[in-house]
Structure 1
Amino acid sequence: MITDPTTTLTREQLYERLWSTPMNKLIGELGTSRIALIQLCDTHQIPRPDRKYWATILRGLSPDRMPLPSGLSGSSPIAFTHQAPSPAVLVRKTIAQLGDDVPKIEVKPVMEVADIKHQNKQIWPEGGIMPYATPKMAARARAIENALVDAMAERGHQSGDDHRPGNSQPWFRIGGERIRYYLYEPDHNQRHYFTKSELKAEPFWVGGKGWEQRKVPSGSLKLGIVADYGISKLTWEDERGRALEDQLGEIIIAMEVVSAVAAKATAKRNEQAHIASIRTAEKERREHKAYLQDQRWERLCAVADGWHQAQRIRGFLAAFKETVAGDARLMRRAAKWGAWAEEYLWSIDPLPSDPEEVLRRLRKPKRRLASYEYEEDFY
């Protein structure tokens, strides 16, 4: 297997690999998909062997190869980016490597209950779901679940169950990751032909066919596992000559492999979230710094505007006093009005006041100010 993240092949090298290695094996070595490899071959005009070619090789013969077309202009090296295998592929490889070391799980039978509703109620205490059609199937599912829980406990894994209204969700915690599993009896569609009494009672059921599709229990068990984040569901079910009880060892290995994949995905997701939080905090700091600078500039402009307005009013008062200097009556009235104007000037002119007060108005604010605080500082 190729361990480099990227593999580069020339057109001639890819031609040799295609005609010496089956495509199912080659796509695993190159870390690509079958469709992507076919598209690359069509783009670079690389012929591919068909099934007859490999069948002839299996018979011990040496078939002829289709020649590689020459004279392709602008041909560049072909890069293959190695993709991480899916959890299903990792599970198959791990089980193949273990071989006979896959644990054997003993399933102890459980006594059947005559009442199937009572049996389902024992398995799903919250009620609302009746996943098994017969007491025999319900007892078998209970035995498989008990064997699975005991085997996982021996391997040091915690088990639990999230009881929800009308449902129950069992899970195992492996290495900090929670793996949920589903054990149920699947159903399938089957034609139901109406009897004469049914046709007479409900003629609209027929629909011109005399039968309808109905879901009936399959008579087999199916178990699926799924991690909490980003892992597709893996399933096992009864097969010919191999019941679900014989596959529990592989299911346990699959749970441990899936938990390792989920742990890596969780670590990567946490790292991305941490980087995103750092970027967000840096952006907020820049925005806050720009806001404080804007606030400081607005304070400076407000103080300068107050000083400029005060100078204009003082000039106007001086000119007005010169105008009424010869009239005693107007001077008395202007004196009262001038006293009021001088008192108002002290409130808008920052320079005659305490220098500390002026610096307090001009200093850089340490936090975002509300509109009413901003107005009280200047007016």
Structure 2
Amino acid sequence: MDIRCQDLYEAVWAKPVRTLAKEWGLSDVGLAKACRKHGIPLPPLGHWSKIAVGRGMKPPQLKGNSESMITIQGTPSLKKAKLSAEGKTKLKPALATIFPEQTTLMSKLAKWTQKTDKALHRKPDSSGFVSSWKETFRVSVSEAQVSRAIGLLDKIEKALTEGGMAWDFDKKGQYVVGRMYGETVSFELKELYKRTEHIEKHPTSSWLDRKTYTYQFLGDLTFRIDGYYEGRKSWSDGKTQRIEEKLPEIIEGLLAAAESMRQRTLEREEQYKRWEEEARIRAEKERIEREEKAFFDATLKEAQDWNQANLIRDYATHLRSLILDNKIELTEAGEQWLSRIENAARKHDPAFRRLSL
């Protein structure tokens, strides 16, 4: 499966890696390895337990390129996504377009299929592939399968248009994608093949060996929907059923994909709101703790100053008592010195400052 780095990053912070791996037909070790390879941070041990009690951490920043595509080997989920009542309403007119007995069969190709057809009617590349370019559907087949691919795309485009899907080309990928419920539905149609490697040995240095490849096209087509969501993502020619016979499933799968992606977006937005609320609560708690600590430290400092002022005051009182008991007559300098001690005690007594006395 192919998935955008940003989508994989959001996926592993929305569900445990083990759960995602099971849904996508992958090993959790392989999925985690792909994340680390592309700079995607993973939730730490115990994260999901904390999430359950509202204490999950906010996802750290993505280090990898958010727009890069990541290919992960595995078997896509064959679980059929369920359509909502609205989706079923849209499915009915969509399916009607692929059955000639139920609707008028139009010979003219649909807009984007027509552009794709024009792009595919050219000379194959050196490996035998005929591929479409920008502002077309994403297709990669042999010359022998071009007409068949166009027929499939024409039915898919017309059916989904009838079902309420709009079409546009993605400015980054340059391929035509579907737009529905504010989501982008991207897909690819390609022919399966076998690749054989040939090595031309260099006479002296093995690192200069020349590798070439030949491709054997199998005549079998496969249709795959991109992106992360729960539900079936691919359909292929089988031994007993060709992909044309699976068109109703593909149409339903594309509509279900748009719904699932929308649901995922809503869940992600809700998760972000929870994270923001948790962060706000943590920040408020930390602010209160800082204020309480600052108040405690300031009060403790005042108490310590009060103790010191009392110590000086007690010393001055003791001196006055000695002078009185021993009938000592202080000199002017002595009186000034003693008064200065008493004034210092008063000046440094925080109680006087606190009460503005």
Query: TM-score under structure 2 normalisation?
Result: 0.51
Partners of 1:307 and 1:351 within 8 A in 2? yes
Cα displacement (A) at 1:327:
7.2
Report Cα offsets for 1:86-134 as digits up to 9, x if no partner. 7733469x99xx99994343784735533335998982239xxx96364
Tell me the amino acid that sits aligned with residue 186 of structure 2: R
Residue 191 of structure 2 is matched in structure 1 by 185
| Compared CA separation, residues 156 and 242, structure 1 to 2 (3 A) | same
The structural deviation recorded for 1:256 is 1.6
Percent identity between the two aligned chains: 17
Give the conservation status (yes or no) of the 8 Å contact 1:226–1:232: no
Q: 1:88 aligns with which of 72, 75, 79?
A: 79
Measured after TM superposition, the shift of residue 279 of structure 1 is: 4.5
- What is the letter of the counterpart of residue 300 of structure 1? T
- Judge conservation of contact 1:104–1:248 (CA < 8 Å) in 2: no
Q: Residues 133-282 of structure 1: matches in 2 within 5 Å?
A: 134-138=142-146, 140-141=148-149, 144-164=152-172, 168=174, 170-190=176-196, 215-227=215-227, 229-231=228-230, 234-239=233-238, 243-275=242-274, 277-282=276-281
Q: What's the counterpart of residue 351 of structure 1?
A: 351
User: So what's the TM-score if we normalise by structure 1?
Assistant: 0.49
Cα-to-partner distance string for 1:239-270 (whole Å, 9 max, x where unaligned) = 45755445434311111223334444444554
SS at structure 1 position matched to 2:186:
strand
Query: Which residue of structure 2 aligns with residue 58 of structure 1?
Result: none
Q: Do the aligned partners of residues 343 and 171 (structure 1) sit closer, same or farther apart at CA in structure 2, a change above 3 Å counting? A: farther
Report the AA paired with residue 166 of structure 2: Q
State the alpha-carbon separation in 2 of the partners of residues 305 and 125 from structure 1: 77
Q: Structure 1 residues 316, 310: CA separation in 2 closer, same or farther (over 3 Å shift)? A: same
> For the pair shown, which has the larger CA radius of gyration, 1 or 2?
1
Query: Do the aligned residues in 1 keep the contact of 2:192 with 2:222 (CA within 8 Å)?
Result: yes
Structure 1 residue 346: deviation in Å?
A: 5.0
Residue in 2 that maps onto 1:302: 301
> Aligned partners of 2:348, 2:304: CA distance in 1, in Å?
9
Deviates more, 1:288-297 or 1:104-113: 104-113
Q: How many residues align?
A: 253
Q: Which residue of 1 aligns with 2:134?
A: 125
Report the aligned-residue RMSD.
5.0
Q: Give the distance between the partners of 1:309 and 1:353, measured in 2 at CA.
A: 15
Provide the C-alpha distance between the structure 2 equivalents of 1:315 and 1:114, rounded to a whole number of angstroms. 105
Q: Which amino acid aligns with 1:316?
A: Y
Q: Secondary structure at the match of 1:124?
A: coil
Equivalent position amino acid for 2:167 in 1: S
Q: Give the corresponding residue for 2:96.
A: 103
Contact 1:116 1:135 in 2 (8 A): yes
Question: What displacement does 1:224 show?
Answer: 0.5
**Residue 350 of structure 2 aligns to a residue in which SS?**
coil
**Which structure has more RCO (C-alpha within 8 Å, separation ≥ 6)?**
2
What is the rounded CA distance, in whole Å, between the counterparts of 1:202 and 1:244 in structure 2? 50
Matched position secondary structure for 1:89: coil
3-state SS of 1:257 partner: helix
Name the SS of the counterpart of 2:168 in structure 1.
strand
Distance 1:301 1:240 in 2: 84
User: Structure 1 CA distance, aligned partners of 2:338 and 2:129?
Assistant: 96
Supply the distance in 2 between the matched residues of 1:122 and 1:216 (Cα, whole angstroms): 16
One-letter amino acid of the counterpart of residue 219, structure 1: G
Structure 2, unmatched stretches of 5+, are 1-76, 99-105
